Structures are given as structure tokens and as C-alpha cells.
Structure 1
Amino acid sequence: MQLSGLAPGDWVTVQARFTPQAAFLVAADGRTRTYAEGEQRITRLARALRQLGIGRGDRVALLAVDSPEYVEVLLACMKLGATYVALNFRLSPAEIRTVLAASGAQVIFHSARYQEIVDGCRLRDAIQFESGYEEFLAGGPDGGELPAVTNDDDILSISFTSGTTGTPKGVLQSQRMIKAITQSGVLELGLRPGDLIYSGAPLFHAAGFGHVLYGVARGGASVIMPQWDADLALSWLGSGRVRHATLVPSMIIQLLEHPELAEADFSGLRSIMYGGAPMPTSVVRRMADVFGCDLHNGFGAGTEAGGQLVLRPEDHRRALAGDEWLLGTIGRPAFGCDVRLLDPDGAEVPDGAVGVIASRGDTVMSGYLDRPDLTARAVRDGWFVAGDLAWKDQEGFLHLAGRADEMIIRGGENVYPVEIEDVLGGHAAVAEIAVVGEPDPHWGQVVTAVVALRDGHGTPSAAEVKEHCRGRLASYKVPQRIVVVANFPRNPAGKIDKLRLRELLAEGRIS
């Protein structure tokens, strides 16, 4: 399918015209909706919304767990040129109300479990998925195809960032941006018509609905589960039906440690995309052994700039054949993305020097909602600058050095947590790790490693840690403290929330 010149709001229409009986959405219990059924329902829903007064530029919010009906709302908005605001249900009620008010949405679709929150908001209309959705949809008049009325400059989505480093910001995502991200994803993953896709990210997250759009653009189908569930995910991935999955490291570790792993059939899997947090080399090797499929490591500011970098399957095969250092990189630019590493003055740094990652292309956002000041700081002459630090080797692979706001300064030396996480993550006892700086009266900051242990392993001693790091890390980078936790605080994407982790350490709530 040619994406340029074709609005995302028309993608289901095109698939329904040529492959009406092909699977479109598959619920967790296996119920399948075809493209013909999806087109009929989305078009009717769009007409029902139009009767409600929703049109181009109007904002429609969603506060719900994932479902096929959630997807229908998003795609109906795309037809009308309405802007959807997919809210993070993991925020507190007060935070949700604040974000919802900032979005300017007057209509909301929501799950019953969030009824009390919705009741406390000033909204013109509220449609509950469980009790009011089908009746609302049925009120839309019949008719033929309903062409999308959008152009590439239209803002189709306002996506609020997870807020792990401050107040959530409303990211303005244009039709051009959504089309470009979809095209890049389809090409990088090599998706084919009829492929069944699963993403562990929720639909309010860029990787959640983004993967549904990959499937729609290519004529594939998506498995939609209400929320992440390791048992359900294993049953689907091990069913032989799913061709591609996208998962964060914590999800992969849960699957690899699942007691029923040996009974799963992964022969249908062609590829897995992972990312969002450092992945120990030992886990990548086990993924290759257990799943037996192509591996992609994706890196990027998905909400604001899509996928920026990718370590491709051929890079993984080379790494597992001997060049293991490649697994410590975040790859090279993804399709349609240009990347530079900049110093504090905005000049490009030489190979080997650490700089902030900047990217440009159609995948970059249009800006932040009502925040021209933040937009001007983040997007400079078309280049998006997020604050992620990296250095480039002579083969063009980028090595993540962390985030500028996570860098630890110990006795005047810059320490990049990701380097330590990569080394200690390979320790036999460590399942997951996050390295942070803690205040110290002598050094300014010291290195602390917070770890979750593998079953059957005890906390590594200081001597063990030093021995494991010997020859791989400078002495000042070796953690002075190891803290064991059962569970990490996480943001909505499943990433470890280091801001909250530092707060818990400072409050003495973990030690």
C-alpha cells in the first residue's frame, strides 16, 4: 500500500474493499472482527460522532483499558479529522482530571471502572464502553464509504508523555507524523498481509496503537488484550498464530521465566521487537534460543519522534555469532530518520565523543500543546532533541550513554548509568537493574545499583560485584551499594521509573 497521499482514516476502508473477510482485530478470547465488519462499524461510529457535533479539530478523549471498541473510536476520529486524546489510566484521578482539562476534550469514551473519575470532570458527553457504546454506535446512520477529510498538517492525536521526569506534556501528532511512523515500522519489521501482530504496550502508548496501524496499513490483524497479562501473552505467542510481537524487557523476562514456557510453540513467530530499557546480553541470547526468530532492538522518543534507531536482525545474528559488543549498541538510524549527536552548543560531536541524540524527519511531532517555550527548546530547526546521550563508533552504531538528567557526577567524573547496567546486567543473579546516583558528602554522588534477582539467587556481595566488573569498568564506576527490590516502579510504557526510584531511596523506603 502506498501511504503517501492516503489518509490513515481510509486504511481500513481500502482493506475492506479488497480483503473484506481478512482478520482485522482479534480479542483476547479469540473473537475476530473482519475488515468488512470493522469498516461498517467505524463508519457508523464516525457518523454517530458527527451527529454529536464532532468534526475536524474537535477533541475526543478515551480513558479505558484496551479493547477492539477502543481501536474503533481512534479510527473513527481519524476519518472525521477529530483529535483523539488517549489518556493514561495509570495516572492518579487528580492527574487524569488535570490532563483531561488541559486537552480541551468535551467528549469521552471510558471503561466502567473509571466512572467516578469521569463524573468529576466537566464534559459535554460521556459514553461508557460496557453499557452505552453499542447503543451509541447503533445511532449512527447507515451509508456507504465515508472518506477521510484530513490533510497531513492536521493534528490527529494529542498524546501526553508519561511524566516520569516532570509534568506530562501534550504532544501534538500530525497525520504526516503518524503516516511516517507507520511506514517506517512496516518496512523495518517486514510485515506482510495477513500477519497477526501483538504489542504489549497499551493503546494509549505510541507503541500500542502504532502497531495496530502497522497491521491496518499492511492488511494484517492485531491481538487486543485488556492489559498486559503474562499468561495470556504466552498462550498467544506460543499458539503458532502470532507472527510479530513487541515487548519491553520486563515482559520478556516474565515470559522466559514462565513455568509453562516449555509447552509453548513459537514456530509461528518471525520477529520480536524489544526496547524501552537495557537488555542484558544473557537475556538476548536466551531470547534467540527460546523464540528462534528475528530480533529487533528499537530505540526512540516514540511519542515525540517515533523510532529513531534500530539494531536489526542481521546485527543480532552477527552479535550472537561472535561480535557480542553489538548487543550493547542501540543500532543505526531507522528508515526515514536522520540522526546527529550534538554538544551543548548544538555542534555535531566527533565519533567516540558523547553527545545528545537529535533526529529529524516526518516522524517528528508538531510541538507541545499550548507550550511554545517547550517546543522551541525541543525542536530546533526541525531537529528533535530529547536529552538522550550516546556516542557513535566507526561502523556507525550508536552506544547509549543514558540521559543527561540521569548522568551521575562522582568526584568530578561523569558516570553514565547505562554502561554499568550493561555490565552488571550480565551477572547470573541479576534479572533487572537500574543504576542511579545518590548524594554523598565526599564524592558529591555515588553509584547505587538497584536490582531484582533471579529466582534462587542471593544478593551479590561487594566483592562479587567488584570481581564481575574487574576489567570492564573503571573503579569509580563500580557501584558502592547494591539494593535489592522485588518490584521496580514503572511508567506506563513498562520502563523503570528512575525518578521515582531515586525518591524512594531518598525517603528510605527501599534500602
Structure 2
Amino acid sequence: MKDDDIRLSWWERNQRIEALSLPNTLPDMLAEAAGRWPNQIAYNFFDRGETRTFAQLRVEVRRLADALQQLGIRHGDHVAVMLSNRIEYPITWLALAEIGAVMAPIVLSSTPREIHFFISDCEARFLVVEEPELRTRSMRPGEGPLPPAENVIFVGPVEEHRSSPRYDTLVAQGSADFAPLRAPTANDPVNIQYTSGTTGLPKGAMLSHRYWIIGAAATMEFFGIDHVSALSVSPFYYIDAQAFALKALYSGARVDFSPRPSINRFVDWLYQNQTSVTWLTEQVLELPPRPEERAAGVKLFLGYSQSVETIKRTLERFGAPTRELYGATEFGGGAAVPLVVEDPAILGTCGVPLPFRRLRIVREDGREAVPGEVGELWVSGDGLLQGYWKRPEANADFLADGWFRTGDLFVQDDRGYYSIVGRIKDMIRRSEENISALEVEQVIKDFPGVLDSAVVAVPDPEREEEVKAYILMAPNLEPPSFEEILSHCRERLAPFKVPRYLTFVDEFPYTPSEKVAKKQLTAGVDDLRAGAWDARDQIQR
């Protein structure tokens, strides 16, 4: 098939997909799934032995929704959820959606400082959590921004706080004949999904029912995926696992959720569950080949910024194609490479727009780029984020006339395919985690005697990028040990944000606006590790 024919056929297919009749809300989608595939397994948390069929899922969701509504959760309420990967997580999310409430997921490795920020920022009236997560952090209901005991719902075993509601008790008390006091609508928010940004602390992206339904339909229909098994290795507080959960409701697929990401167990999980679709864990290609790789039966790997060489190696090892799926929290999927494409030059791109998405590349001067010119990618379409929670300045910066400014630098070739060439945002991507350099800098600058700090990305073959911190001490002060700085960071940052490389400097180059000139700081340095303390390997590089 010629390139023009491929793009034309997928443009026509996108139009057909956009004309489909879709459910209005997540409760509608769950009801349809339970009616069409009642006895098929929807969710399988295989490490815990927890499964639910579509029919069982809907019954438990509605019983929990009824109990939560009786507890006082109302349409529009914000509920913070901090759980490990377990069946109660998606059930809680879907139950809140039935009420019209909004889930605000909290990263499980968050420090007390970060937890306080999330709960305070999103104004959560309720918290759903496993008790050990509070106990090990010496946090108690009702202290600081944490909701009172009667509004903290515990999942799993409880040693203290026995007066707080329990998940199991609520499900047992609730009725499957649930009726919301106010029914949710397509444009009601269902998530406040925190995403790191260059403004420092995370921003809460408000995602609607429509956002999730569009995302599920666009991906499943674009790739022609139906009635398959998908493996999710992402924690459920991240958007990838949530997206898989809803793709199951849309298509009748079974989703197998791993307890946590693991390179060494990835192939075992594929083989054990006979996975059809999953995100590619690229580091697995560095492990010795195993016969289980082809026996797993994978039909499609989804990838982000995969090289042509990686795509080739994956096909050789697993016998399955890898296709780019470019996206972001704010708009879900934006572009993808069609399955029918075989040209290596196209496989290395981000492909063509997904259904419901329009793309444009805008130059620095505000004019639209022509093919071959680099500019910022803007995305528009149905079901984008509704804005950032309580961040009017960010909304003004990132949302312009219905277009979301991604901060990613793109180029379109003369055949119409889009490719990412870099990022405007001062972000670091470490092991698939997005880290705000500014947030890490702010924590380091809180250390006594630190005058300024600059955090940059260091290319890394295993983790994509590592975190390096340059530290400027106040004059005439003896620098602290690197371990003191690291201990300070570990108390205030999730583990994946803590710098690996640290170095002290005598001065910083600054821009006219008094910001560290990071390009000048790192210009001409072939190896950013050189001369820095390596916290992982405990050596001076």
C-alpha cells in the first residue's frame, strides 16, 4: 500500500470512528459491558488472585457507590485515593464515577509533604487508603489537611483507626439498586490527575467522562483491537493503567494488572497471561532471549519514542509489531502509527492523528510551520482536559482557543507524518516517570546554606534520563556531604525524583531574568556525569 493510500485510508477510518455512537458516561459504558459480556473476566489482579467478571464488577461498583453516597460523598466531591495495585482501586474509581464524584490519585511513594500538598490542593473531602500507608508515615486522620476519621476509608487490614469506614463493610452494606442523587454527565470531571510541570509543583488536570470514553474508543478502533487480553504493568494511580481499565469496558477485553513494574518478571507475566496487547518495556531487550517470548502470543506492543532498531529487535524477539502511540495526560492519545505501515522511515515517527484529534505545529513566531520546519505541537479535539485545577495562569499558558500547547517540539514530513524532535519543557523523564526539575531544585534550595540549585537531565541507556543536581552554597560555608543532601531529598521527594548525580559549583551563569542558564551550564560538556558524585554507585565520576 502506498503512503498516500495509507494516510487516506486512515483519515477515512478516523472519520468513521468519530461518527460512532459512544456511551455518555463511565456508568453507561460499564452497564453496556456488563450486558454484553457478563461472564467474561474484566479485571485480573493475578498476583493477588483477584478477578471480576463484567457483571460482578458492575454489581460491586454500584454497591460501593450506594454506600459512599450514604456516607456523604456527593456529585462534584473530590476524593483522594492512595492504594497499591489491587482490585479495590478501579472499583473505587468507577463507584465515584457513578455518583459524579472526582478521584484524585496519589502516588504511593509520596512523602508526607507531597501527600499534604495533593490533599490540600485538590480540596479532598474524603481519602481512600491502606492503613499502613498512613501508619508508616506517622500520619493520622484529621491531622493537617487529612480528612477526619469518619471521612477516611480504609482498604485491607486495619490495626488502628477502627472507627473509620472499611471498604469491605461498605460494599456489604450497599445496594446494587443504586440511584445517584444527581446523575453524572459526559462533561463532568471524573479525575484530577496530577502531572508534573515546569511550574514546579504538580498540576491537577481535570479529566471528564468524555475524555476517557474518547480515549478508549480512539485507540481500540484505530488499531482494530477487540476481545483481547492486555497486560498493564503500570501502577493504577498513573494514567496508563486507568486507560487500560476503560479499554476493557469498551471492547470486552481482559486486563491483567501486575503488582508493580518489573523488567525481570515481564516476560513471565506475558507468558502466564497469554497477553495480546501491552506497552513495551524496552529494557527487557537487554536481557537474554527466552523461548517464552514468542510463546506468549503477543499481537501488538504499544510504544513511545521507540527507535526503528528497537521496533526491529522486538519483532525478531517476540514476533509482534510495535507501534508508536504518542500522547499526554492532558489529551490522551494524540497520534499513532497504523498497523499496516511497514516502511522503517514511517515506523520511526509518531504517525498520524488519532480519531478525535487535530494536530498543528506552531513556530516560535506564532505562525503555522510548513513541512520540514520544527515547532511546538498543538493538539485540539473532543474530550481534552477541562483545564488545570486552580491554575488559571497555567490554563492561560497551555490552552489557547481550544488548542493544548504540548511543550513538545515536532516536525511534519512532506508525506504528512509527525515526528517528535525534543521538548520545550524543563522536564526529566526517568524510567517512564516525568520529573519537574524545578520541584527538585526547590527542595534542594530548602537545605540550610544552599544558595541556588540547577537540575538537569543526564542521558542514560537504562532509564532514558537520570537526574543531576548542581548545587551552589552560600559564600564562606563549608559544603555539606552529598549524603546529607540526598537524605534531605529522600524525606521530601518520591524516590524516583531523588537525584543520582550531584556536584557543587562555585557560581552559576544566569539569564537576564535571573534564572540559571542551563544550556550555558552544560554547553560543551560531553559527559554530564564527569566529576559528579554518583549516589547509586557510590563513586566520584
TM interval, shorter chain, is 0.7 to 0.9
Partners of 2:88 and 2:332 in 1: how far apart? 25
**Matches for 1:179-258 after TM superposition, within 5 Å:** 179-193=213-227, 195-239=228-272, 241-247=274-280, 251-253=281-283, 255-258=284-287
- Cα separation, partners in 2 of 1:206 and 1:347, compared to 1, 3 Å: same
**Matches for 1:142-181 after TM superposition, within 5 Å:** 142-143=176-177, 149-163=183-197, 166-181=200-215
Equivalent pair of 1:10/1:148 in contact (CA under 8 Å): no
Whether 1:26 and 2:44 are equivalent positions in the alignment is: yes
Partners of 1:240 and 1:129 in 2: how far apart? 26
Residue in 1 that maps onto 2:377: 357
Residue in 1 that maps onto 2:461: 452
Whether 1:340 and 2:360 are equivalent positions in the alignment is: yes
Equivalent pair of 1:46/1:77 in contact (CA under 8 Å): yes
Residue in 2 that maps onto 1:378: 398
The secondary structure found in structure 1 opposite 2:186 is coil
Amino acid across the alignment from 1:379: L
Aligned residues: 424
Bigger mean CA deviation after superposition, 74-83 or 86-95: 86-95
Q: CA deviation at 1:58?
A: 0.7
Partners of 1:225 and 1:23 in 2: how far apart? 16
Amino acid across the alignment from 2:102: T
**Matches for 1:305-320 after TM superposition, within 5 Å:** 305-315=331-341, 317-319=342-344
Q: CA deviation at 1:31?
A: 4.0
The answer for unaligned runs of 5 or more in structure 2 is 1-16, 158-165, 430-436, 438-455, 464-488, 504-527, 535-540
Equivalent pair of 2:62/2:175 in contact (CA under 8 Å): no
Q: CA deviation at 1:353?
A: 0.9
Q: CA deviation at 1:370?
A: 0.8
Partners of 1:19 and 1:271 in 2: how far apart? 23
TM-score (norm. length: structure 2) = 0.71
Amino acid across the alignment from 2:320: C
Q: CA deviation at 1:289?
A: 0.9
Residue in 2 that maps onto 1:473: none
Equivalent pair of 1:85/1:159 in contact (CA under 8 Å): yes
TM-score (norm. length: structure 1) = 0.75
Equivalent pair of 1:240/1:266 in contact (CA under 8 Å): no
Q: CA deviation at 1:191?
A: 1.9
Q: CA deviation at 1:448?
A: 9.3
- What's the % identity of the aligned pairs? 25
- Which of 146, 154, 161 is equivalent to 1:122? 146
Q: CA deviation at 1:509?
A: 2.8
Equivalent pair of 1:3/1:179 in contact (CA under 8 Å): no
Residue in 2 that maps onto 1:50: 69
Q: CA deviation at 1:406?
A: 5.5
Amino acid across the alignment from 1:272: F
- Cα separation, partners in 2 of 1:326 and 1:147, compared to 1, 3 Å: farther
The answer for unaligned runs of 5 or more in structure 1 is 320-324, 408-416, 419-435, 437-446, 455-488
Amino acid across the alignment from 2:46: A
Q: CA deviation at 1:43?
A: 0.6
Equivalent pair of 2:289/2:317 in contact (CA under 8 Å): no
Residue in 2 that maps onto 1:508: 532
Partners of 1:385 and 1:448 in 2: how far apart? 22
Residue in 2 that maps onto 1:483: none
Whether 1:281 and 2:308 are equivalent positions in the alignment is: yes
- Cα separation, partners in 2 of 1:57 and 1:147, compared to 1, 3 Å: closer
Equivalent pair of 2:223/2:339 in contact (CA under 8 Å): no
Cα RMSD after superposing both structures: 3.3
Residue in 2 that maps onto 1:440: none
Residue in 2 that maps onto 1:444: none
Partners of 1:353 and 1:242 in 2: how far apart? 40
Residue in 2 that maps onto 1:424: none
